[in-house]
Amino acid sequence: MPEWKSESLRDAYGQTLVELGDRDPSIVVLDADLSGSTRTALFGKKYPDRFFNVGVMEPTMMTIASGLALGGRTVFASTFAVFAAGQAYNAVRQSVCYNRANVKIVATHGGLLVGGDGGTHQMLEDIALMRSLPGMTVVVPADAPTTRAAVLAIASFDGPAYVRLTRENLPVLTDGQFALGQATQLREGSDLTIVAIGAMLARALGVAETLHQSGIEARVLDFASIKPADEKALLRAARETGAILTMEEHNVLTGLGTLVASAVGTGYPVPLRQVGVPDLFGESGDPWKLLDNYGLSEKHALDEAWALLKVRGKVS
Partner 1 sequence: MSGPQESSATPDELSATARQIRQDIIRMTYHAGSGHPGGSLSVTDLVTALVFHELRIDPEHPEWPDRDRLVLSKGHAAPALYSALAHRGFFDPKILRTLRELGSPLQGHVDHRKLPAVEASTGCLGQGIGMAVGMALDARLARRPSRVYAILGDGECQAGLTWEALMAGGHYALDNLVVILDRNGLETDGKTEDLMGIEPIAEKFRAFRYETSEIDGHSFPEILEALHRARSTHGHPTAIVARTVKGKGVSFMENKHAWHGKPPNREEAERALAELGGTL
Binding stretches for partner 1 (CB under 8 A)? 28, 49-50, 52, 54, 57, 59-60, 62-73, 90-91, 93-95, 98-100
- Nearer CB in complex with partner 1: 103/260: 103
Q: Strands 244-251, 192-196: parallel, antiparallel or unpaired by DSSP?
A: parallel
- Nearer CB in complex with partner 1: 51/306: 51
Cα(33)–Cα(41) distance, rounded to whole angstroms?
10
Cα(82)–Cα(105) distance, rounded to whole angstroms?
12
- Nearer CB in complex with partner 1: 57/311: 57
The one-letter amino acid at 315: V
- Nearer CB in complex with partner 1: 100/212: 100
| DSSP codes, 248-305 | EEEETTSSHHHHHHHHHHHHS---EEEEEE-S----SS-HHHHHIIIII-HHHHHHHH
Cα(76)–Cα(162) distance, rounded to whole angstroms?
10
Cα(111)–Cα(123) distance, rounded to whole angstroms?
5
Minimum CB–partner distance for residue 61 and partner 1 (Å): 8
CA distance between the termini of the chain? 26
- Nearer CB in complex with partner 1: 69/220: 69
Dihedral sign, Cα of residue 247, residue 253, residue 255, residue 258: positive
- Nearer CB in complex with partner 1: 52/294: 52
Minimum CB–partner distance for residue 92 and partner 1 (Å): 10
Minimum CB–partner distance for residue 14 and partner 1 (Å): 21
The one-letter amino acid at 296: L
Could you say which of 3, 7, 19, 58 is catalytic?
58
Residue 306 neighbours by CB distance under 10 Å = 18
Minimum CB–partner distance for residue 164 and partner 1 (Å): 23
- The dihedrals phi and psi of 183, each to the nearest 5 degrees, come to -75, 150
Dihedral angle of Cα 164, 112, 217, 9, to the nearest 10 degrees: 40
Q: Assess whether 248 carries a catalytic annotation.
A: no
Minimum CB–partner distance for residue 103 and partner 1 (Å): 10
Minimum CB–partner distance for residue 73 and partner 1 (Å): 6
Active site residues: 58
